Amino acid sequence: MRADAPRFPASLPAAGAPARVPGPRDGTLVRPQQLLHQAARDAVRRPVPSGLGLDSQAVRERMVRRLHGDGVRHPGVLDAFSRVPRHLFVDSALAIQAYEDTSLPIGLGQTISKPSVVARMLELALGAPGRGASLGRVLEIGTGCGYQAALLALISRELVSIERLGALHAKALRHLQLAGVEGVHLLHGDGCLGHAPRAPYDTIIAAAGGDSLPEAWLQQLAPGGRLVAPMRAPGCQAQVLVVVDRTAEGLRRSEHEGVLFVPLKTGAA
């Protein structure tokens, strides 16, 4: 190698001055950050694409069409399902399944019920004689993650919802606030006791099933009111949907299709 051969890395003086990037004709320097600023302005002006994302109305409408195909016909129920974003009420890891007809875990051994089961219970509740389009004053037993409460809020005059598990009560409160649902009275307590201060209720709907209906629910049911709850069928372990109407002649009970809900428990935790 020649003694005068260049060596690397070369020193800055040896490397020479940096090449000058030709600027505009007025002699100003080119500033690359101006391109970034322009891109940011373009992004603001660009319309947000709409598609089948979880926040898309199209996804909820697809679920509503499936419910209609399964036999749900009440327009108030279908409208409520089209308006409430179910994915906001489940854990983010399960959000992709939010609009499938499946129950999903919400923690503490509890689940969010299948949309078809919730829709059926709401339709049964709205089917009470003389009910019209509103459930009136409603008592919900088992707030869970808050999804059914959000639906009930759209088809009732007043809603009281009780959750026995404090952690779920707090979660439901956050979910309802995130979804912009207002006017729901959320309580942490023993749902088996109902809530006498706001009784009587035109509608009582439960999201947990036991061997028998608590006496407090029946006492707090208004004349002409309807109770819808899962309950163990006599002589077997299976649950069925039970409807109780308070008529002028007394309580009238009917049993409907089989369901599967978490067990009804007393006390608060």
DSSP 196: G
Rounded CA-CA distance 21/71 in Å is 71
Other Cβ atoms within 10 Å of 234 Cβ, number: 8
Instruction: Let me know if 113 is a catalytic residue.
Output: yes
From 262, 131, 130, select the one nearest 191 (Cα to Cα): 262
> 3-state DSSP call for residue 242?
strand
N-to-C CA span, the chain: 84
224 burial class (0-12, 13-18, 19+ CB within 10 angstroms)?
A: middle
Do the beta carbons of residue 84 and residue 148 sit within 8 Å? no
Q: Which of 113, 134, 156, 254 is catalytic?
A: 113
DSSP 241: E
State the DSSP string of 68-128. Answer: HHTT---HHHHHHHHHS-GGGGS-GGGGGGTTSS--EEEETTEEEPPHHHHHHHHHHHHTS
Catalytic residues: 113
